[in-house]
Amino acid sequence: MQSEQRRKRKRFLKTPFSISSTSVFYYWIRCCALFLFIALFVYFNGFPYRSDLCLFKPVLTLLRQSKTSQLVARSFKINDLSSSKKVVPLRVEDRVLFPDHVLLLVSKRSRVSWLNLHGGLDCIYSKKLSNLSTQVKGIRNVKFLPVLSVDEYNELQSIVRCPLPPSNYSALVDLRKHRTAKKNESLLIEDQRVHSWENLVYGAALDGKTAVVFAKGLNLRPDRVSNPAQFSCQFTWIESTKKDNRYARTTNAITAAQEIVRCSLPFRLRKDPSRAHGIRVSIGIASHHGHRDVYRERVQSKAAIRYPPLPSVAKIIFPKFEEQGRSQYELCVCTMLWNQAPSLREWIMYHAWLGVERWFIYDNNSDDNIEKVIQELQEENYNVSRHAWPWIKSQEAGFSHCILKARNICKWVAFMDVDEFFYFPFPTTRKTSGLGYPGHHSLRSLVTKFSSSGRIGEIRTTCHSFGPSGLISPPSQGVTVGYTCRLQSPERHKSIVQPDAVDDTLLNVVHHFHLKSGYRYLNLPQNMATINHYKYQVWEVFRSKFFRRVATYVTDWKENQNEGSKDRAPGLGTEAIEPPKWRLQFCEVWDTGLRDFVVANLADPISGLLPWEKSYV
C-alpha cells in the first residue's frame, strides 16, 4: 500500500503544471480592466511624469451654483512652466457680464498674472446649443480669443477680462494658456452661471464687528438713507476642518443707503473677525408684497428673517497686518480714475509738495499702462497704492470702501479727481487767518489745525472750472501751467474728511460725505483756498469723458438725460464731435495764479524743469 502511494506521488511530480480555462478567463479579465483604468486615467489627467506631452487635457468640473441652470463648463489644466513642472488648474470662481466685456474672478492659486506674462491666456467660448442631448453626442463648437487684460484683485482672487462672446456663443467663458487651437476641441457646459452686472452683490469689507456689503441693483435713492428693515446679510463658508460641511448664517441689516448695506457679523465671527477671511456674503431683500408687515415683524422680533439672497461674488478680505496701524498719516488722498495715466505724475508730485503723505488709487478698468506710472512713483518714494476696482458706475461705493481702508491709518482723507489741484491764492508773504504761509506742506498744516477740533469733521473747498485756454494740444509742462482761463462762477466743491466722523451709512455724493451727529463741515473762504478743476481740457483729452463716467448717479455723456446738468459741458450735446472753436470756450476769467505759484516754487532753478518733467528728459 505504501509503495502504491509512492508511485502515485512520483507520477504527479513528473506531470507538467497546468491552468484551468476558468483561471485563464479571470486572468485576462483583470488585465483588461487594469489596462482600461490606465487608459482612462491618462486620457483625463495626462502622464504624471511627462506633463509636456499632455498639456491642456480636459477635466470635467461640476459646480452646483444654480438649481435652474442647465449650462455646463469644462475647466482646463495648464502647465506652470516653473522648475517644479507642476500642473496648475485655472479655477474660474465667478463670471460677470458687463456691457463691454466679461469679467472672470479666478482663484489666486492659478497664478494667472504670472501665466499671462509667460505666453498669455486665451478666453474659451462655447457655441450655444439647442439642447443637452446635442452636447452629449459630442458637437464640438469652441472659439478662442486672447484675454483683454489680467489684474490683481485681492489676496484670494485675480481678475481676467475677456471680450464679449461672439454671436451665438455663450458668455460662460473659460481660460487656458495661449496656444494653437486643436481642431474639433470641445467645451462641455454644465450647471454654471454668468452673473449680470445689473443685479449683483460685488463687494464686502469688515468694519469692527460689522460687515459692509456693496450691491448693484438695490435701486435705492441717491443721497438718501433707506429703511434697513427690508434687508439682511447671508454669510456662507466651508469649515476647513470639515470640508463637506457648508455653513450659512443670516443677520439683520443695521443701515442701508444707495448701494451699501451694513450688517452685524454672526456671533462666531464677532468673537474672531479674522475667521471671516474668504467668506462669501450676499444680501437678502424682502419682497415688495407685504413689506410693511415684514417691517413690523422685525421690529417685534430680533431674530433675522431669511430673504432670498441676491447673486453674489463678494468675499470678505481680512486686512493685512500692516494696514491695521493707527493714524500713521496726517493727510491722505483717495481718487477713482479711468485712463488718467498721463496726468498722474503731476497730480501726485504737486500734492506731495503740499503735504499729502499717502495715495489710494482706485483704478476703474484702465488700459493705458497706469501700473507702470504708479510703479515709477513708488520707486521715487511716493507712497501710492493701486487698487483694482472693476465695478463700473460705482464711484460713490468705491469712496465708501476707501474710507474703510484708510480709517485706521489716516487722520484726514481728501477725495479729489486727478484733474483737480488744491491751491492757496493768497500772497506768500503775508499770514492769513492764522493758517500760516502757503507753500511747502501747507495743505497738511491746514488740516492739522482742525485735527484737535471736536466738531469739524469735514473741510469743503470750492472748485473753479478751467477751459482749453486757447490750446489745441495737451500742454507739455502740465495742466497747472498750461490752462489759465476759467469760468467766473465756481462749480461744486470737494472735501477732506476725518474717517471717524463719517456716518455709519458711509453715504456720500462724491463731493462730500454725511457726518455723524455732533460733527459739522467747514466751508473754506475762496480767498483762502480753492481747487482748480481742469475740467474742459483740449478736445483730444476731453472727448474721453464720453466713453465712460465712474459716478453711479451721474448720467453718461452719450445719454440724452439731464442735458442741462452741471456735470455736462453746456451746449455740448450727446455726441463726441468737437464743437466749433472749442479751444476758446469756457474762458471768462484769465487766472494765472497757480501757474505762477508752481513755476516759482517747484521749478528747478537751473534747468527750469518741473518735477514731473524730469523723468522725460
CB 555 within 8 A of CB 545: no
Would you state the pLDDT for residue 25? 63
Nearest to 508 by CA among 221, 228, 227, 223: 223
Residue 284, φ and ψ in degrees, nearest 5: -100, 140
Q: Indicate the domain borders of the chain.
A: 91-128+139-178, 200-288+305-316, 329-428+435-602
Cell of 283: 444680501
Per-residue DSSP letter, 307: P
Would you state the pLDDT for residue 169? 92
Q: Which CATH architecture has domain 200-288+305-316?
A: Sandwich (2.60)
Distances (CA, A) of 612 to 382, 424, 442, 457, 534: 13, 20, 20, 33, 17
Cell of 584: 476758446
Question: What is the Cα–Cα distance from 10 to 6, expressed in whole angstroms?
Answer: 6
**DSSP helix/strand/coil, 521:** strand
Residues with Cβ < 8 Å from 13, sequence gap 6 or more? none
Give kind and range of the element (H or E) at residue 214.
strand 210-216
| Residue 12 φ/ψ region, left for φ over 0, alpha for ψ in the -120 to 50 degree band, beta for the rest | alpha
pLDDT tens digits for range 201-223: 999 999 999 999 999 988 788 88
Question: What is the Cα–Cα distance from 613 to 615, expressed in whole angstroms?
Answer: 6
Would you state the pLDDT for residue 494? 94
Cell of 407: 480709517
CB 398 within 8 A of CB 406: no
Would you state the pLDDT for residue 131? 54
Amino acid making up residue 358: R
Please write down the HEC assignment for all residues of 419-432. CEEEECCCCCCCCC
CB 456 within 8 A of CB 518: no
**DSSP helix/strand/coil, 87:** strand
Nearest to 616 by CA among 355, 349, 420: 349
Would you state the pLDDT for residue 223? 83
Question: What is the Cα–Cα distance from 474 to 482, expressed in whole angstroms?
Answer: 8
Label residue 264 exposed, middle or buried (CB < 10 Å: 0-12, 13-18, 19+): middle
- Residue ranges of the chain whose pLDDT lies below 50: 1, 8-19, 42-88, 132-139, 181, 183-191, 288-304, 428-437, 615-617
pLDDT tens digits for range 387-425: 999 999 899 999 999 999 999 899 999 999 999 999 998
CB 92 within 8 A of CB 106: yes
Amino acid making up residue 512: H
Q: Which CATH architecture has domain 329-428+435-602?
A: Alpha-Beta Complex (3.90)
Distances (CA, A) of 253 to 37, 221, 308: 54, 17, 14
The label of the residue with cell 493707527 reads 326
Question: What is the Cα–Cα distance from 24 to 616, expressed in whole angstroms?
Answer: 83
Would you state the pLDDT for residue 329? 95
